[in-house]
Amino acid sequence: MVHAITLDSVSHHFQTATDRIVLFEDVSLDIQAGRSYSIAGPSGAGKSSLLTLVAGLETPKAGRIEFTIDNRIASQTTLRKRSGFIFQQFHLLPELDALSNLALPLRLKGDKNAYDKAHAWLARVGLTARARHKPAQLSGGEQQRVAIARAFIGDPVFVFADEPTGNLDEKTAEHVAELMFDFGRTDQRALVLVTHNRALAAKADHRFRMAAGELERLP
Ligand SMILES: Nc1ncnc2c1ncn2[C@@H]1O[C@H](COP(=O)(O)OP(=O)(O)OP(=O)(O)O)[C@@H](O)[C@H]1O
């Protein structure tokens, strides 16, 4: 099966009452399942904005983005259903324990085995003993491990991560990065991450840098 995201001469800007903030122009990028991608670059360069376009959360001001899932052209809605997301702020639901945070996306899809799968994923990220703890009772690294498990639990075709290690110390960040790449490394999935962390960016198969309105491919 082919899964891909293709950006063809994509440009994006924000219009405020007084200014037009041009982020980038004529960006082309090809994302294929079975590969990982990192986008680095200075603060404010437009990395997160590019990720929202790649993930189908926003539509670009100009240019074309095509999503292919199972060899077919897919809508933004289909793309979102087949994607997992990991953010800097872990975005776990504070009133639910770790197990229920993991089970929720599956329960919403009517999966009868949601809790069994949630248990299995908690074990994969080494948090079985924390199943009944709520996010506030977990460390930052533990919360991010739950968030990573939640991103992968639905067997997504694409996983998008925005500064996934931004709130973590170096050692914890390394562990979290290893988990992400372990789960991301399959022929049927692409991992796309935005990060300032050089070690994390270097792990990706394809490395890019966004600066001064251009996306540069790094050697
Ligand atoms: N909704 C918006 N309206 C207006 N300007 C915006 C909006 N969202 C982002 N921007 C501006 O667009 C620019 C790029 O923001 P973006 O978050 O994509 O950068 P980034 O490279 O991810 O930065 P960082 O590394 O600091 O997260 C910034 O100058 C930001 O202030």
Q: pLDDT digits over 41-71, tens only?
A: 999 999 999 999 999 999 999 999 999 999 9
Residue 57, CA distances (Å) to 68, 77, 145 in order:
16, 9, 24
Q: pLDDT digits over 147-189, tens only?
A: 999 999 999 999 999 999 988 889 889 988 999 999 988 889 9
Distance CA 150, CA 35 (A): 20
Residue nearest to atom 14 of ligand 1 (CA): 46
Q: Which residues line ligand 1 (CB under 6 A)?
A: 14, 16, 21, 23, 41, 43-49
Find the mean pLDDT for residues 185-207: 93
Task: Tell me the pLDDT of the chain averaged across its residues.
Answer: 94
Secondary structure of the chain as H, E, C letters:
CCCEEEEEEEEEEEECCCCEEEEEEEEEEEEECCCEEEEECCCCCCHHHHHHHHCCCCCCCEEEEEEEECCEEECHHHHHHCEEEECCCCCCCCCCCHHHHHHHHHHHCCCCCHHHHHHHHHHHCCCHHHCCCCHHHCCHHHHHHHHHHHHHCCCCCEEEEECCCCCCCHHHHHHHHHHHHHHHCCCCCEEEEECCCHHHHHCCCEEEEEECCEEEECC
Flag whether pLDDT at 205 surpasses 80.
Answer: yes
**Most informative mutation of 10, 48, 59, 165 for ligand 1 (most atoms within 8 A of CB):** 48
Q: With contact defined as beta carbons under 8 Å apart, do 165 and 200 qualify?
A: yes
In this prediction, residue 112 carries a pLDDT of 95
In this prediction, residue 89 carries a pLDDT of 87
| Separation of CA 211 and ligand 1 centre (Å) | 12
Q: pLDDT digits over 122-157, tens only?
A: 999 999 999 999 999 999 999 999 999 999 999 999
The domain of 183 spans 4-218
| Separation of CA 40 and ligand 1 centre (Å) | 14
**Most informative mutation of 22, 39, 49 for ligand 1 (most atoms within 8 A of CB):** 49
In this prediction, residue 120 carries a pLDDT of 96
Name, in order, each residue with C-beta under 8 angstroms of 215's C-beta and a sequence gap of 6 or more: 24, 27, 29, 39, 50, 208, 209
| Half-sphere exposure of residue 198: CA atoms within 13 angstroms, side-chain side | 0
In this prediction, residue 168 carries a pLDDT of 87
Q: How many domains in the chain?
A: 1
Please identify, by atom number, the ligand 1 atom nearest to the C-alpha of residue 210. 21
Q: pLDDT confidence of 80, banded at 50, 70, 90?
A: very high
Where residue 102 sits, what CATH number does that domain have?
3.40.50.300
ipTM given for this complex: 0.94
| Separation of CA 79 and ligand 1 centre (Å) | 23
Please identify, by atom number, the ligand 1 atom nearest to the C-alpha of residue 194. 22
In this prediction, residue 156 carries a pLDDT of 95
In this prediction, residue 1 carries a pLDDT of 77
Q: Is the pTM of this model over 0.90?
A: yes
